[in-house]
Amino acid sequence: MYTQFRDIFAGEGVELVVDREVSEQIADLAIPYKTVARSLRGLFEELITPVLDPVPDDPMIRKVEITSLFAEPRVIRGERLV
């Protein structure tokens, strides 16, 4: 599910790290509602959208870490290696 987003970030020279816990949290939310894969992706997209937009515009962002659905993604800045 995260491969497409990792590729998008990598194209900008930014590493995307998603903890396993995020997948488990998404599954825990989706199972009671018997949602399909598209809904799972939608949950993740809601989480990642706030950092997806600024990545191309901020050359100092080099890594984004997502550790939980219930916490803001961590943005690490520094010189990009691209």
Each residue of 15-35: pLDDT tens digit? 999 999 988 888 887 777 666
0.85 exceeded by pTM: no
Pairing status of strand 61-66 against strand 74-77: antiparallel
Cβ atoms of 72 and 5 within 8 Å: the answer is no
More confident of the two residues 13 and 41: 13
Q: Give the three-class secondary structure for 74.
A: strand
Structural domains in the chain, CATH included, are: 3-77 (1.10.8.60)
Any idea how long the chain is? 82
Residue 12, Cβ neighbours under 10 Å: how many?
A: 17
Higher pLDDT, 29 or 73: 73
Query: What average pLDDT does the segment 36-55 reach?
Result: 80
> What pLDDT score was predicted for residue 37?
63
